[in-house]
Every structure is written in structure tokens, then in C-alpha cells.
Amino acid sequence: MNKQDASAARRAAARTKPAIGFVAADTDEAQAALERLSRAHGQVPADEADIVVALGGDGLMLETLHRFIGRQVPIFGMNCGSIGFLLNEYREDGLADRLAAAQPVTLHPLRMTVRTVDGREEQALAINEVSLLRETRQAAKLSISIDGVERLEELICDGVLVSTPAGSTAYNLSAHGPIVPLGTGVLALTPISAFRPRRWRGALLRHTATVRFDVREPKKRPVSAVADYTEVRDVARVEVCEDRGVELRLLFDPEHNLEERILKEQFVG
């Protein structure tokens, strides 16, 4: 190969190499990692990248997923925070090879549709869970319908949530809900500190289900609805369903994929 051919080959390789956009949490550790990795691999604006690499913890990863929720750009997280369930191990060496070998996971968020006490309607997407929470010392009083059929006439509780499989190890698990493996086509419906019926532990629902919560006595017992970190206060009715029209793509090292992490979490004491 002559020098001209070699130069052309290098230019072609540069054109086919995916453009990486780095985003980082506002911590000293993550910002230092951002500076080093940008020098080593170059940096394009994240909104123009072929692959986004997120540096931080699960909070930053969740923000990044919401930021790019309409673009379907693959996101590879590296843990520079305290909790990194949705992220890979932080290593600076061999990043290009890791990105090339990474296994994709496609997630569909939940869509929350809310009607407030004063008649407003709002929507938001949730990657982890949609939760309803009491706003005051008064317990929430709710009814629950699945696909238009009332299944629980009255739930008195601190709250209730609907979780995706990817979010089932987060708030859902802390509320004693089940861990749901990926690919099962199941959502978790979990009460939060249920007072009545005291023995109700929730339900597993098909991912195609539409869950409706009606708030009883909403002025006396005000309730807020939260989709990940988007909160709507003083709600009267909340509907939750999986939005199959929206896709999120996460990338994981083959030896630490998300399905394996969810399985391992079920054997943690």
C-alpha cells in the first residue's frame, strides 16, 4: 500500500469511527474523568454524537436517558458515583473496544397521564417507575383499575407505584416489591406502606396493561404523582401504561449486562 492509499484508509477509518459525546455529573471525580477521556478520544457535542458516554451515578444516567429519550442514541454509562446499577465499571483503557463489543438493551418507558383536581391534564415519561404519594399526614385513599376493570375498590396507604423491570431494583425493591427480570413482559404494581388491605402485597401485570388510579377524597387526602423525578401535585386520576412507541438503548459490557445484574440482585442478602 502506497502512502496515498494508506492516508485514504486512515481517513475512511476516521469517518466510520463512531463520534463519542461525553456527559458527566457535577462532581470532582466525574469532571476529572470527563477531561481525561475527552483528551484521549475527542469530544463532540452530545446532541450530535453517535454514542453517548455518561460519567456519574444512576442519577446522572437517568437524567441522560431522559435527555436523549427521543433520539434512540445508544448510551454507555461508566460509574463515577455511589450507585451504578445502570452503569458499567469505570475504566479508561480500551474504551473504543468496549463500545464496539457492548451489548445493547432496549427499554420502553412508562407514560403517566394525570388529571389534577382543578382539571389540568399533564403527561410525563418514567424509565424506573410512576409513584403516587400522599402529600400530608393523611393517608392516601385510592381505587385501582386494570384495563378498565376495577380490581381494588379501596387502598389506604402512603402510596403505590408501577415499576418497569429496569426500575424494579430501585424504589420498587425498597417498597418490598418483586425484582422483575428483563424480557418477561411484566410490570410490578407495588403498594407503599399499605394500611388497608394490610395483607395486599401488590400484583404483577402484563406490560400491555393500563393501570388507572382514582384518588378518593382528593382535597382531604391530597396525592402527588411522580414519573421518575417529574412531580404533579394534587392529582385526581392517574393512568399508567408502557409506551411502546418510545425506545431507549443502553449499552453494557458483555460480562456485566443488565439482565445479569438483575439476577444477581435477587441473591443479595
- Which residues form the catalytic set? 58
Q: What stretch of H or E contains 261?
A: helix 258-265
Cα angle 264, 177, 239 (rounded to 5 degrees) comes to 125
| Unique residue bearing C-alpha cell 384518588 | 215
The C-alpha cell that represents 102 in the structure block: 457492548
CA within 13 Å, CB half, 241? 13
151 Cβ contact list (under 8 Å, min separation 6)? 144, 145, 203
Q: Are 143 and 150 in contact (CB under 8 A)?
A: yes
The C-alpha cell that represents 80 in the structure block: 463515577
DSSP string over 132-154: EEE-SSSPEEEEEEETTEEEEEE
150 Cβ contact list (under 8 Å, min separation 6)? 143, 144
- Identity of the amino acid at 196: R
